[in-house]
A = this chain, B = another copy of it.
Amino acid sequence: MEITTKEYRRVAVVSVSGRIDTLTSTQFEETINELIEKGHFNLVMDLSEVDFLSSSGLRILVTSRKKVREKGGDVVMANPSQRASDSVEIAGLDKLFMSYPNREEAVGSF
């Protein structure tokens, strides 16, 4: 898993490539938590390069969403790969996350 972040004034974008699973989910969680601690409650997950997303990763998406929503923010997705969106859908979580066709639209949604 490779993870990068981009912080804008009101939004932060987290881009992940590779596998988000029990091996890597801690790093994923820590990255998100750092952004939240910095005051970023509007989060865009760029999952365009994710090729495996297990329940360990989904759990972090769900808990992060809960945290930022308590602060008036949200977690949205930008251009999720077919596999990332399949994981979300199979787990029945697709209703929770707005998904945008690209990062610009996801950033602009806030």
Contacts of A6 in B (CB 8 A): 108
Q: Is A107 an interface residue (CB 8 A)?
A: yes
**Is A109 on the interface with B (CB-CB < 8 A)?**
yes
- Say yes or no for A65: interface residue by CB 8 A criterion: no
A15 to B102 Cα, complex, angstroms: 16
Closest to A104 in B: B104
Instruction: State whether A8 touches B103 (Cβ < 8 A).
Output: no
Give A1-33 interface residues, CB cut-off 8 Å to B. Answer: 6, 8-11, 13
Complex Cα–Cα for A52 and B30 (A): 48
Task: Contacts A10-B10, A13-B104, A102-B104 known; list 16 others, CB within 8 Å.
Answer: A6-B108, A8-B105, A8-B108, A8-B109, A9-B108, A9-B109, A9-B110, A10-B108, A10-B110, A11-B108, A13-B108, A103-B104, A104-B104, A104-B107, A107-B107, A107-B108
A residues with CB within 8 A of B: 6, 8-11, 13, 102-105, 107-110
